[in-house]
Amino acid sequence: MLPKTIAARMTAALFIGILVAQLLGTLLWIEQLKSSERNRLVEVSQTMGSRIGQTVEFFGKLPKQYRHMVLDQLRDMGGTRFFVSVNKIYIDLEEINETEFSLLVRSNLQDSIFAQTGALKNMQIQFVDFENLKILSGDNLMVDLSPKWKRFALLEPGDSSPVAVVQFPIENEWMYLAAVIPEGNVMTGIEWLTNERIISLIAVSITVLMLTILFVRWIVSPYKLLANQADLLGKGRKLRQLPEQGSREMKTTIRAFNAMARRIQKFISEREQSYAAISHDLKTPLTRARLRVENLEDGEMKDNLIGDLDYLDTMVKGSLQVMTDGTIYENSKSIDLNDMLYVLTSKEKISGLPVSLDIKEKITIKGRPLAIERLFSNLINNALTYGEGVEISAEKLNGEIIIKIMDRGPGLSDEEKVNVFEPYYRLEHNISSNHSGLGLSIARNIVNIHGGEIELKDRQGGGLIVEVYFPS
């Protein structure tokens, strides 16, 4: 699942990119190292094979009776390039595990020896750990011999390099040649990714990750500030001018946002002043008209006119509410939703109306108290008017606060669910009621100002569910 924030996505993308680059670089380094070792072993094995071939050619030309004598003299004079012996039997040796490099060395040794001597019948090439190297009759280990023997034979590797052993039959005897392969430890299998290198990779990755996080935070900090300011603007808060910082594109965006915010705030201020003037201008003649109607003697006409004036007064107040809600001059604070809904439902219960409240946990929201109270008062009144009863529940779920107002009324069609939020829209079966058709429009405005959402759903068994979502 992708990270939700741009900072997290940039960090993840950069880190994964760097990590992949590191892994590819490591793999390339390993392949280059393998290629280098492969070329070196080819050269070493060809040289060793050529020298073994020369030694084989030399001893092959010696009469049988002189071979042991020559070997003894060579050892007394300071040794040979190899440990050489002529044995009565073939010595069975414990070989190392076959690897790509051991196969390569074997092939090159064989080719070089054959190039020097021609094909040798039954020639055996084996690779043995120095500790397991058997010599002479096969009952002796090289490690058990005196240092003099090992020194003369140049068979003290000093590392884990294997020993190449060549054996082939010669006049009812077996020629035996052993030589350490210089820096041949790669033949036994090498740990390319050592603990030290793994630790180094991890350390580099952590360092890169920390630097990436710091870099991304620096890059996205203006975007975060801009997003916060845009959220506050959407909720009707007064904003300070953002400092123009960041990249050239970011500075241009911030400059445009500041200009937009100034225009919006100026418009809101002018609108508030206009609505205050409109409210005053409308209320004064309505008050005068009511006073004159009160002096009428015709009771029926008087009641009808007073009803019309009340309805007109309701329409004026409702219209102003739609345009000014949610109470722009009201400061936001923490609201105990449990207490507010308890008070609202208690008022209805006192009136004898069927109201139930189900909240199993403490729920608080940040908002404008009077606007939130008007919101739920409108929704409860609508449910009681059209649904003849209301059930209210609230819970926290997945980082949201969900409030449900449920009734058992006739419900709404899909078309009505869309239109009912429009100002002055009234349901056909209540067209004659004294309601202005502004309750849900006002409710939606209040919810939107607080960064929430409102949805209408059918209730199983008949009725309507109004769901209000607020950020937790």
> Do 46 and 178 sit in the same domain of this protein?
yes
Q: Looking at residue 280, which CATH number applies to its domain?
A: 1.10.287
Same domain, 161 and 111: yes
Q: Looking at per-residue confidence, does 172 or 269 come out higher?
A: 172
pLDDT score of 263: 83
Tokens of 184: 């041949």
Q: Which of 323, 353, 374 is the last residue in one of the domains?
A: 323
H or E element at residue 175? strand 173-180
182 shares a domain with 53:
yes
pLDDT reported for residue 3: 67
Strands of 453-458's sheet in order across: 355-359, 390-397, 400-406, 464-471, 453-458
Out of 60-64, 401-405, 440-444, pick the least confident: 60-64
Q: Most confidently modeled of 142-146, 284-288, 462-466?
A: 462-466
Same domain, 163 and 48: yes
Question: Same domain for 319 and 336?
Answer: no
| Band of pLDDT at residue 162, cut at 50, 70 and 90 | confident
Residue at token pair 């790509």: 100
Structure tokens at 130: 């120095």
432: confidence class by pLDDT, cuts 50, 70, 90: very low
The residue among 381, 391, 378, 375 whose CA lies nearest residue 470 is: 375
- For 327-358, the pLDDT digits (tens) are 445 677 899 999 999 888 887 776 677 888 99
Structure tokens at 394: 């609230």
**Least confident span in 85-89, 129-133, 152-156, 439-443:** 152-156
55 plus 149 within the same structural domain: yes
Domain shared by 28 and 152, yes or no: yes
**Could you tell me the pLDDT band of residue 467, with boundaries at 50, 70 and 90?**
very high
- What confidence score (pLDDT) does residue 326 get? 47
Nearest CA to 56 out of 109, 135, 6 is that of: 109
pLDDT attached to residue 468: 94
Last residue of a domain, one of 323, 352, 367: 323
pLDDT of residue 401: 93
The last residue of one of the domains, among 138, 169, 188, is 188
Q: Which domain holds residue 339?
A: 331-471
For residues 459 and 360, membership in a common domain is answered with yes
Q: Are residues 309 and 364 in the same domain?
A: no
Q: Are 79 and 149 spatial neighbours (Cβ–Cβ below 8 Å)?
A: no
Do 21 and 138 fall within a single domain? yes
Q: Which of 343, 413, 412 is nearest to 380 (CA)?
A: 343
- Determine, yes or no, domain membership for 360: yes
Overall number of domains in the chain? 3
> Is 79 within the bounds of a domain?
yes
pTM for the full predicted model: 0.44
Same domain (yes/no): 356, 421: yes
Highest mean pLDDT among 45-49, 63-67, 288-292, 296-300: 45-49
> What residues are paired with 358 via a beta bridge?
393
Q: What is the predicted pLDDT for the residue at 395?
A: 92
Residues 345 and 467 in one domain: yes
122 found inside a domain = yes
Question: Is residue 208 within a helix (H) or strand (E), and if so which, with residue range?
Answer: helix 195-234
Q: What is the dihedral of CA 233, 239, 245, 247, to 10 degrees?
A: 10
Spatial contact of 348 and 355, defined as CB atoms under 8 Å apart: yes
Chain-wide mean pLDDT for the chain?
A: 78
Distance CA 433, CA 421 (A): 17
Which value, to the nearest 10 degrees, does the dihedral of the CA atoms of residues 262, 268, 270, 273 take? Answer: -150
* Position with higher pLDDT, 91 vs 154: 91
Q: Per residue in 268-315, pLDDT tens?
A: 677 666 666 666 666 677 777 777 777 777 677 777 777 777 767 766
